[in-house]
Chains A and B, each alone.
Chain A
Amino acid sequence: MVDLKGETPALGCDPFTQTDGTLPYLLKLRERTLRVVCDQQEPSRPPPRQEARAAPPDLGPELPDLPSFDDAEELPGWLDRLAGVALDRADEERLNLVANMLAAHPYDALGLSPRTARRAYAVFKLLYRHYFRVASSGHAAIPEKSGAILAANHGGLLPFDGAMVVVDMLLRANPPRLARAIVDRWAGTLPFVNIFYSRVGQVIGTRENFRSLLRTSQIVLVFPEGTAGIRKRAADRYVLQKFNVGFVEESIRHRVPIVPTAIVGADDQSPVLYDVKPLARLLGLPVFPITPTFPLLGPLGLLPYPVKYEIQYGEPFRFYEEFPQHVVDDANAVRYMAEQVRRRVQEIVDRGVLRRRGKKA
């Protein structure tokens, strides 16, 4: 054990240190100055008076605690009651199952709030059943517990395609899974939208966010076409654009399957006649569309038409079983794999479109 207590600190220049029992010059000076100032301000301060402690006044019986504003917030609000009406017992059970799997209370690591998600789910379930009348198949491809990447085609100006896949995974997958959609970074800059996306489980598309989801074995929904998917004109409906490759790299790194997911209907919900690119650049938007209803009807013109959706999940790709990990460093190989996924999604979309046209005919 070191004995430093008996030593004199070798701090000749330290004005705070008391060396030989007398105060150093600076402290002495400060004390003297303070004494002078105090004496000037309060020349004769009377000693504090000892007040006699009075008996507490008799106010009668105690009142019960009244709920504060925050208490009211904790109680189910009108939104929760509305959600309760829209959701049946089976829905509640499925949501609870998902919330328990995430152990997210009150927020998970990426901002999901089960309470907000429940409210949103109640609204989107109504759209799923009665507005878009979604039909889906191929849920066997979804893993029960482990993580997976759903690679889907993108269409429509507002991302209802993503919302419908999320609701479909909650309603039809067995067990129910919560798909976390990766959204464009631009959406993160939008006031209110950034909060809503985060609370209902959508995640801004940074690599770290993506990895965090896969590390925790969650289902990640990606739209590898990016904004090119929503920019395409009505004439190019259901023609998939070039895929980004990041999702393939992460699939190999984290050894999770890629489930090709085809969404038929989204491209019909808001057909883009023309994209005014200079205006989009000027306003900092990914697209400034001209549609049959926008900008004619103002913001209402962006709302989707009540088209019927069809979602189909294909056989998963497991590139990590075929290739070694270091293949992610080979840009050509990764591009080739992304192209394979794109072709598979295109095939399923084409089949869905043909089926739909056949029905119409």
Chain B
Amino acid sequence: MRRVLIGHMDCAVGRRLVKALYHDPDVALVYGLGSGPTPSFLEPYQEKCFYQRLDLAKARHLTGFLGSERFARARFDSLILLPFGQENAAERIPGKVPALVSETRRLLEAARRDPRIERFVMLSSAFVYSPEPGNVNMMAEEEPLSFAADGDSRVRAWIDADLLCQNELKGPELCMTILRAPAIVTEAGELLHCPPLEYGTIPLGYDPMISVISDRDAARALMLALHSDQPGVYNVAGREIFPASELLRPARFGPLPLPRSLFGAVALVSQTLGRGRQQAHDYQRYGVVLDTSRAREALGFEPQYRVELRGRGGERQLDTVRYR
């Protein structure tokens, strides 16, 4: 019987994951950590699902919990980290080390210290890959990660956390599984964790294709990883891919194609107006499409939800529909 601790449970994927874990007879205890108030979706699952509000970005909060009697009594054997939960403006400041790296390190240390913990699953991002030139790039797990000096600070944090977890793949103590997921589409049609689309601009003459995955499929992949005895890095994604311009269309202003040379000027204006920093990263020009064959063979992962664009005009929005 598994006893699972989830970092950043209070996010869209966490919601799906809790439901799946609750209905799993092999799971005895689900304990979520998150910086928000107790999520309302936990209400029906209170028999075996618990939540602790603490700021994972703060060392003393996390260390306090990991050293607590409650942590010891819960006798966790599996840890799931959903790093997408923590996103705030402070983390976008260039040069500042985002908390994800330090909290991943602390959780890994706790997992190593505690002999009962045998499994660690991390939901990483597909945008850690360094995209090759081209509208579509099929990315396998062996593709090099992006270490560009001018990279997005959040993506760099994902890469660092990913690398920390990859180090554990070599050791025999933990069964480490890293799942790299692309942009996540929620039931409400929101598109989460897609850095290329956050600025609403696309370099002129480019329209990269991007993989997407529904939040239910992401949670399902986590469940499969939790029960699998095959550690490793796996790409997980839905079958559909979309051009960035179409994914931006449901947004308020739609895509704004800009010549690449103008990105510097726009960056300055955008930063002055407090709308974040515009940068022409490689993933704004070149597509990221995941090759999921390894996850299909080793974990048995097959997407069950189709992502599609529905409606027309201003009411166009993303939707997830179960495959027949």
Q: Is the CB of A11 within 8 A of B70?
A: yes
Q: Which candidate, B103-111, B115-123, B187-195, B235-243, is the interface stretch facing chain A?
A: B235-243
Interface string of A122-133 (1 = CB under 8 A from B): 000000000000
Considering the complex, give the chain A residue whose CB is closest to the CB of B311. Answer: A70
Nearest A-chain residue to B207, judged by Cβ: A195
B133 in contact with A109 (CB, 8 Å):
no
Q: Which residues of A contact B3 (CB under 8 A)?
A: 2
Chain B proximity of A281: nearest CB distance (Å): 18
A107–B209 CB distance below 8 A = yes
**Closest beta carbon of chain A to B215's beta carbon, Å:** 21
Across-interface contacts of A185 in B (CB, < 8 A): 132-134
Contact A208 B316 (CB under 8 A): no
Residues of B within 8 A of A14 (CB): 54, 61, 64-65
A189 within 8 A of B: yes
Q: What separation, in Å, do the CA atoms of A208 and B134 have in the docked complex?
A: 13
Please tell me if the beta carbons of B312 and A16 are within 8 angstroms of each other in the complex: no
Q: Are A194 and B291 in contact (CB under 8 A)?
A: no
Are the C-beta atoms of A107 and B64 separated by less than 8 Å? no
| Residues in B whose Cβ lies below 8 Å from that of A10 | 68-71
Q: How large is the interface on A (under 10, 10 to 19, 20 to 34, 35 or more residues)?
A: 35 or more
A20 proximal to B (CB < 8 A): no
Given contacts A68-B313, A191-B204, A192-B205, contact A204 B47 (CB under 8 A): no
In the complex, the answer to whether A198 meets B313 with C-beta atoms within 8 Å is no
Interface check B287, CB cutoff 8 A: yes
Inter-subunit contact A16/B209 (CB<8 Å): no
B233 adjacent to chain A (CB < 8 Å): no
Question: B29 contacts the other chain (Cβ, under 8 Å)?
Answer: yes
Answer yes or no: B198 CB below 8 A from chain A CBs.
Answer: no
Convert B283-323 into 0s and 1s, putting 1 for each residue whose CB lies closer than 8 angstroms to a CB of A: 00011010101000000000000000000111010000000
Closest-CB distance, A108 to chain B (whole angstroms): 8
- Of the candidates A191, A195, A209, the one whose C-beta lies within 8 Å of that of B138 is A209
Query: Which of B48, B138, B206, B242 meets A107, CB within 8 Å?
Result: B242
CA distance A208 to B235 in the complex (A): 13
Interface positions of A from 1 to 39, Cβ below 8 Å from B: 1-2, 4-5, 7, 9-14, 16-17
Q: At the interface, yes or no: B73 with Cβ under 8 Å from chain A?
A: yes
* Shortest CB distance A216–B (Å): 11
Q: Does A197 sit at the interface, judged by CB under 8 A?
A: yes
Q: Are B70 and A110 in contact (CB under 8 A)?
A: no
Across the interface, which residues of A come within 8 angstroms of B206, CB to CB?
191, 194-195
Nearest CB in chain A: distance from B123 CB, A: 22
Please name all residues of chain A whose beta carbon is closer than 8 Å to the beta carbon of B132 when the two chains form the complex: 185, 188, 204, 206
- Give complex CA distance A287, B287 in Å: 26
| Contact for A71 among B136, B243, B293, B312, CB less than 8 A | B312
Which partner residue on chain B sits nearest A192 by CB separation?
A: B205
A209 B137 Cβ-Cβ under 8 A: yes
Q: Are B133 and A2 in contact (CB under 8 A)?
A: no
CB distance from A27 to the nearest CB of B (A): 12
Is A4 touching B73 in the complex (CB atoms < 8 A)? yes
- Mark interface residues in B198-216 (1 if CB within 8 Å of A CB, else 0): 0000011111010000000
Do A209 and B312 touch (CB < 8 A)?
no
Closest CB in chain A relative to B243 CB, distance in Å: 7
Instruction: Say whether B287 contacts A111, CB under 8 Å.
Output: yes
A215 within 8 A of B: yes
Measured CA separation A4–B140 after assembly (Å): 42
Can you list, as one digit per residue, whether each of A74-90 has a CB less than 8 Å from chain B (1) or not (0)? Answer: 10000000000000000
List B contacts of A9 (CB < 8 A).
52, 68, 70
- With A71-B312, A107-B243, A191-B206: A4-B134 Cβ-Cβ less than 8 Å: no
Given contacts A13-B60, A68-B314, A109-B239, contact A204 B134 (CB under 8 A): yes
Question: Is A188 touching B53 in the complex (CB atoms < 8 A)?
Answer: no
Q: Give B227-267 as 1s and 0s: 1 = Cβ < 8 Å from A's Cβ atoms.
A: 00000000000011111000001000000000000000000
Smallest CB separation, A5 vs chain B (Å): 8
Q: Which of A11, A68, A186, A203 contacts B312 (CB 8 A)?
A: A68
**A66 — nearest CB in chain B belongs to which residue?**
B313
Find out whether the CB atom of B65 lies under 8 angstroms from the CB atom of A204: no
A70 lies within 8 A of B313 (CB): yes
A203 to B132, CA, bound (A): 12
Q: Does B135 contact A (CB under 8 A)?
A: yes
Given A195-B206, A208-B291, A1 and B28 contact (CB-CB distance below 8 Å): yes
CB-CB under 8 A from A12, the residues of chain B are: 64
B43–chain A nearest beta-carbon distance, Å: 14
A146 lies within 8 A of chain B by Cβ: no
Contacts of B138 in A (CB 8 A): 109-110, 206, 208-209, 211-212
Given contacts A107-B243, A204-B132, contact A4 B205 (CB under 8 A): no
Counting chain A CB atoms within 10 Å of each CB, the highest count among B29, B54, B143 belongs to B54
Chain B residues positioned under 8 Å from A211 (CB to CB) = 138, 291
Contact pattern, A 160-198, Cβ under 8 Å of B = 1, otherwise 0: 000000000000000000000000011111111011011
Of B71, B73, B206, chain A has the most CB atoms within 10 Å of the CB of B206
Q: State the CA gap A74–B310 with chains docked (Å).
A: 12
- Tell me, in angstroms, the Cα distance from A16 to B38 when the chains sit together: 11
Contact present for A188 and B205 (CB under 8 Å): no
Interfacial chain B residues near A2, Cβ < 8 Å: 3, 28-29, 48, 74
Answer yes or no: B139 CB below 8 A from chain A CBs.
yes
Residues of B within 8 A of A215 (CB): 293
| Given A2-B74, A10-B70, A186-B133, A109 and B289 contact (CB-CB distance below 8 Å) | yes
Chosen A-B contacts, 30 in total, with CB atoms closer than 8 Å, are A2-B74, A5-B50, A10-B71, A11-B54, A12-B64, A14-B64, A16-B53, A70-B313, A71-B312, A71-B313, A110-B289, A111-B136, A111-B209, A111-B241, A111-B289, A188-B286, A189-B133, A191-B203, A194-B133, A194-B134, A195-B207, A197-B135, A198-B134, A198-B136, A198-B209, A203-B136, A204-B133, A206-B137, A208-B140, A211-B291
4 A-B pairs with least C-beta separation: A191-B205, A188-B134, A68-B313, A204-B134
